[in-house]
Amino acid sequence: MPKIRNFEKSIEIMERSRKVFPGGVNSPVRSFRSVGGSPIVFSHGMGKNLFDVDGNRYVDFCSSWGPLILGYSHPSLISAMQEQLQKAVTFGAPSDLEVRLAEKVQNWIPGIEMMRFVSSGTEATMSAVRAARAVTKRNKFVKFEGCYHGHADQFLVKAGSGLATLGNTSSAGVPSGTTQDTLTAIYNSEESIHEIFCQYGNDIAAVIIEPVAANMGLVLPKPGYLEFLRKVTKENGTVLIFDEVMTGFRLSKGGAASYFQVQPDLWTFGKIIGGGIPAAAYGGKKEIMQMISPLGDAYQAGTLSGNPLAMVAGYATLSEIENQNAFEKLESLGKYLDSLVQKELTPFIEKSKVCFVRIESFFCFFFGTNRAPNNFDEVSKTDMKLFNKVYHEWIQNGIYLGPSGYEVGFLSACIEYEDLDLMVSIVKNVLNTED
Ligand SMILES: Cc1ncc(COP(=O)(O)O)c(C=O)c1O
Ligand SMILES: NCC(=O)CCC(=O)O
């Protein structure tokens, strides 16, 4: 495949960017450290397409890391936001817009008896653990190796996403005191949970999990694993938190809880809930949410929480998902992608060169294996060098995904079948040249 793309302007902007931002970026996963090369600087998006400052076009499978389930610049989002822009972008006071969106969330996920809006997934998970600690009067909590719950100090232990990419699963600048109550379990391991609960059961306030792990590539929960966690947490008076920042409003209308029919005590949401404008939320059982200030003593606040622009973008996104029956379209794209992989990549799967994992509109190619990884350790043994090679061929041929083998691909409702043909054909070509 000839390399014909010109990235001159992207490179020039990144040179300036490196002088003002650490690593030239405002979030480490954007830095291309993992795949090598220089980040692409984008100018605009339209539907399924992204355009960079050099005029290159890409079909977008990054979805801004999840929020853009309808693709870029959906007309109903634009008109809802334009109308709101004329009225107010922030009040710092209650508005009907936040009540309307919360009621819609409750309608989709009835277990959310009470909730609160915040501005990022990080705030949502941090606040959910605080609520769990307040209601149980316990300090410790369990997270899973390779799961990412944002960048609050207490979560930066064996985390996924950019921490996995950069080869350090924990962070400098985090005092040991703030992580001494963080216990880490192995994803999909019952034994590891048993061990932790044997030792600390009475002290564990919460177990927080990505019910589908999408920050170490894509790792699915083993059948029965979430049910197992539900049982253990119930027996120990521990709050079960599903971090649905990724899976919320994407895995199904009711997210992962409804998809797997396992009800946590608390949920966290982000990404889709704000339609691409910063918003996130946490919520669940009333008895726990009543611990939050001003009803209870657990303090949690935010100047821009329930931001009107984000509230209308979130509402328009959820409404449009319903209007265009987006889940049906996404499932049909997903099934087509499965069949393509089967048709085009079977010889390579048989030779353990590649493994494809998909659930609804999340997908991931792992290289150097034909077994879907069950945990972080298994993911880190896959061939990330080969991923990087495929990644750059995707870029050269106009396919954009998050720049790391530890991230996932997202289907949006405006992707077309031919885009999937192109993506898989590039994987096949690279594997052929490796053969
Ligand atoms: C599962 C999960 N939880 C929490 C977060 C943190 O969200 P944010 O980046 O909005 O702080 C992310 C996002 O990366 C995530 O994937
Ligand atoms: N999977 C990783 C993310 O979604 C986070 C994006 C970011 O931190 O920029």
Q: Residue 66: inside a domain, yes or no?
A: no
The pLDDT of residue 169 is: 62
CATH number of the domain bearing residue 262:
3.40.640.10
| Span 208-239, pLDDT tens digits | 999 999 999 999 999 999 999 999 999 999 99
Q: Which amino acid is at 236?
A: N
| Span 45-83, pLDDT tens digits | 999 999 999 999 999 999 999 999 999 999 999 999 999
Q: Residue 223: inside a domain, yes or no?
A: yes
The secondary structure element, H or E, covering residue 410 is strand 409-410
Q: Residue 83: inside a domain, yes or no?
A: yes
Residues 182 and 192 in one domain: yes
Nearest-ligand number for the alpha carbon of 243: 1
Ligand 2 pocket mutation, candidates 65, 123, 125, 218, criterion most atoms within 8 A of CB: 65
Residues 332 and 312 in one domain: no
Query: Cβ distance 145 to 184 under 8 Å?
Result: yes
288 lines ligand 1 (CB under 6 A): no
| Span 360-417, pLDDT tens digits | 999 999 999 999 999 999 999 999 999 999 999 999 999 999 999 999 999 999 999 9
Q: Residue 84: inside a domain, yes or no?
A: yes
| Span 286-300, pLDDT tens digits | 999 999 999 999 999
Nearest-ligand number for the alpha carbon of 244: 1
Determine which one of 271, 353, 389, 428 is catalytic: 271
Strand, helix or coil for residue 117: strand
Strand, helix or coil for residue 51: strand
Residues 30 and 103 in one domain: no
Q: Which amino acid is at 154?
A: Q
Q: Which amino acid is at 259?
A: Y
The pLDDT of residue 3 is: 59
The pLDDT of residue 2 is: 53
In Å, how far from its chain's centre is CA 172? 23
The pLDDT of residue 159 is: 79
Residues 410 and 293 in one domain: no
Q: Residue 225: inside a domain, yes or no?
A: yes
Q: Residue 1: inside a domain, yes or no?
A: no
Q: How far is ligand 2, taken at its centre, from the CA of residue 65, in Å?
A: 6
Query: Cβ distance 341 to 356 under 8 Å?
Result: yes
Q: What are phi and psi of 422, to 5 degrees?
A: -65, -45
Indicate the DSSP class of residue 281.
Answer: E
pLDDT of 167 > 60? The answer is no
Residues 372 and 362 in one domain: yes
Residues 171 and 120 in one domain: yes
Rg (CA), the chain: 21
The pLDDT of residue 72 is: 98
| Span 244-260, pLDDT tens digits | 999 999 999 999 999 99
Strand partners for 207: 142, 240
| Span 12-29, pLDDT tens digits | 999 999 999 999 999 999
The pLDDT of residue 157 is: 86
Q: How many domains does the chain have?
A: 2
Q: Cα separation of 378 and 380, whole Å?
A: 5
Residues 225 and 111 in one domain: yes
Residues 248 and 319 in one domain: yes
Where does a domain end: 308, 323, 338?
A: 323
Q: How far apart are the first and last CA of the chain?
A: 16
Indicate the DSSP class of residue 221.
Answer: P
Residues 187 and 317 in one domain: yes
Where does a domain end: 261, 289, 323?
A: 323
Residues 378 and 232 in one domain: no
Task: Determine which of 84-98, 140-154, 165-179, 322-336 has the lowest per-residue pLDDT on average.
Answer: 165-179
The pLDDT of residue 160 is: 78
pLDDT of 165 > 70? The answer is no
Q: Residue 2: inside a domain, yes or no?
A: no
Would you say how long the chain is, in residues? 435
CATH number of the domain bearing residue 340:
3.90.1150.10
Where does a domain end: 275, 305, 323?
A: 323
Q: How far is ligand 2, taken at its centre, from the CA of residue 202, in Å?
A: 33
Q: Whose CA is nearest to atom 3 of ligand 1?
A: 149
**In which band, very low, low, confident or very high, does the pLDDT at 182 lie, cut at 50, 70 and 90?**
very high
Q: Cα separation of 351 and 287, whole Å?
A: 53
The pLDDT of residue 170 is: 80
Q: Whose CA is nearest to atom 6 of ligand 2?
A: 65
DSSP 120-183: SHHHHHHHHHHHHHHHHT--EEEEETT----S-GGG-SS--THHHHTT-SS-TT--HHHHTTEE
pLDDT of 166 > 90? The answer is no
Domain span holding position 107: 75-323
Q: Is 353 an active-site residue?
A: no
Q: Residue 103: inside a domain, yes or no?
A: yes
Q: Cα separation of 432 and 400, whole Å?
A: 21
Query: Cβ distance 58 to 52 under 8 Å?
Result: yes
In 3D space, the residue among 295, 301, 292, 302 whose CA is nearest the CA of residue 134 turns out to be 292
Beta strand ranges found along 257-400 (DSSP E): 266-269, 280-284, 354-359, 362-367, 399-400
DSSP strand pairing (114-118 vs 140-144)? unpaired
The pLDDT of residue 115 is: 98
In 3D space, the residue among 62, 80, 85 whose CA is nearest the CA of residue 72 turns out to be 62
Ligand 2 pocket mutation, candidates 32, 123, 161, 268, criterion most atoms within 8 A of CB: 161
The pLDDT of residue 162 is: 79
Strand, helix or coil for residue 363: strand
**Over residues 98-111, mean pLDDT:** 98
Can you tell me the ipTM of this complex?
0.99
DSSP 332-354: HHHHHHHHHHHHHHHHHHHTTSE
Helices 308-323, 75-87: crossing angle, 10 deg rounding: 150
Residues with CB under 6 A from ligand 2: 27, 29, 65, 161-162, 215, 407
Residues 154 and 280 in one domain: yes
pLDDT of 104 > 90? The answer is yes
Q: Is 271 an active-site residue?
A: yes
Residues 100 and 245 in one domain: yes
